[in-house]
Structure 1
Amino acid sequence: MLQKIQEFGFHAKDIYDYLVAGVDPRVREYPLMQSPVPMTAILLCYLFFVLYLGPRLMANRKPFQLKEAMIAYNFLLVGLSIYIVYEFLMSGWATTYTWRCDPVDTSNSPQALRMVSVAWLFWFSKIIELMDTIFFVLRKKRGQITFLHIFHHSFMPWTWWWGVGYAPGGMGSFHAMVNSSVHVIMYFYYGLSAAGPRFQKFLWWKKYMTAIQLTQFVLVSLHATQYYFMDSCSYQFPTIIHLVWMYGTFFFVLFSNFWVQAYVKGKRLPKQDVNQNGAAVYANGKHHENGKPHKNGKCYENGTSNGNGISHGTTNGISHGTTNGSTNGSAYYENGSTHNGKMKKA
């Protein structure tokens, strides 16, 4: 048994050495590209934190707000994504590529080296985007940490390390350019969303974000599919084309399921919660009464409270909507009182 283990160990090491030896020498000088071990360690630490350590640390803590940090983070990624798209276009897709069978330029020409640089930058942006989930954990947004989210954020960087290492450019880089284009829109939306209620009226197109992502996967799969109908293609790494096609198709299925659950069945729309007084409130920021006024008094709302709003009956006839001690609306009654000084429970 020991001999078999040792033999397997030697074989595994030989396979590892063979795979690492195939990495493009032009890429080796970039950070984290000398070996897949550092990249794999980063992703394992990410999974450990978001699935175990983070939730345990936040269990008895209040969620962090992180408004300013999130605004800066999202708009930083907007700028980075715009730059990546531009570099992909200038490195080949808007200059010398045919958009069909485009081989990897393995030379050291300025344009080829420019493609190597932007391919690595695209991969590194996936490492930066791990912060998406870190923010969810720190803000205790557990509902956002889905299988789709975790799988996408961990699988993408791991596979793209090999894509950049072996084929920095050519036909296989199409989906990287499309993905960065989508991220310009996506992180712009997230940045506006993080900026606060003043910008909510500009976010009516949230539903179409998923449609844009679905379009992305269709384009990626179609572009890869044409490879199978070509008489000949000089692209050096057909395995990457197979993986890109499977990636586009698989994520199209996952995002389609999300679309159905969220917008057809409505399972991810705002749900009712119950506050500490048993009042029904809604996560979309609108406050609904938790009781009925006395029959000779009518209640008029002139304000709203957010999802944690609590309505208190007071002796002076003013009912304040508060959230964590802040007031943003009030309701008052004609007779200045409620039944026995309290609201009847809904």
Structure 2
Amino acid sequence: MKKSLLVCLFLQLPAAAWATAPAAPKPAASRPSGVVSDAERYARRCQSQSAHRIGRPQGTMLWGTRRDWNTEKLAPERSSVLVSADLAPLRQAVDGVKALRLEGGHLVAACGPDAGVATGGVVGTVLQGTSSDGKPVEVAICGAEPSPEDPGMVFYRIEAWNAVAQEWENPCVALDRVPDPRALAVSGVWDGSGAHQEAPGKLTFACENGAITKCITWGYKPWARRDGKPLADLHQACTRMARADYCGNGQNHTHQNTVIDLYDRFGLVERGEWDPAKASFEAAWAPDGATCLARTRDGRAMETILQECPNRFQTGAAVELGAGERCTVRRADVSPEAALLRNLTYAAPNR
């Protein structure tokens, strides 16, 4: 009891600008065949691997995670090796730490009902996670790096246990722009349709190359407030917009690295001057998808969207939103003017 109390008090000291997992002895080069034991699995967490598996992302991602541990497998777009993690109970932790809790954009560790610790108590823990097919997957927090722009927002270096390869691996998909992606800890979970739900005791590790984290770095932090109102709906609308999820069903209609410009009606991100010869108005957005469309981002015929989600949109008279923004298709049940976000796309307009 006395030992645990001392450890907890020590962990409450201010954390450094970044932290790494506590050193663990390297496992022996040879290991028995079959399933790795619990002791060996935890001893091997957060250690760099000799080889990196190649990710092949298809289209724009929501979570930014791999669809399947088998990189040669053509997995569905709505699949992910990691969609959520439990804050308690912990699978493995620093002595004295009983659970984690999420405070805004960062995690803190708890040694008791009312005790909290800083970043240093978080690194080295192993959480119980879940994949999109409901299978359990363990997640290790290997490092914590506060954002230079907002120290209250922390990027975590995570690894998940790949039961197929029997190795700890970064579940985040690496891309050229972010070859070693980290993750943000975000409250709640997103399902395959792209819908967000608050789930007590659960969080999402959203990787840097996914829409959830991109929208946060663009200025829509779901835990923040503007004029007393939470930004959660703005963030959710942004995740739909980032993936061109017009129907609000989790299906993207874009290509990787397509350049877009976004702005909202609250002044958090304002629309700048734009050249109609280079960019064109695309759509207005609500948390459950587009409220009206002027064109598709990937150039497919508008008819394909109408067929994908029948009875959702209606055609007819054009909807003038002002400032040169004009929709040709609109939601039947939502006013286009009530949208939270709008965007332009820097790509060849649909002909």
More strand by share: 2
- The structure with the larger Rg is 1
More helix by share: 1
Q: State the TM-score, normalized to the length of structure 2.
A: 0.29
Q: State the TM-score, normalized to the length of structure 1.
A: 0.29
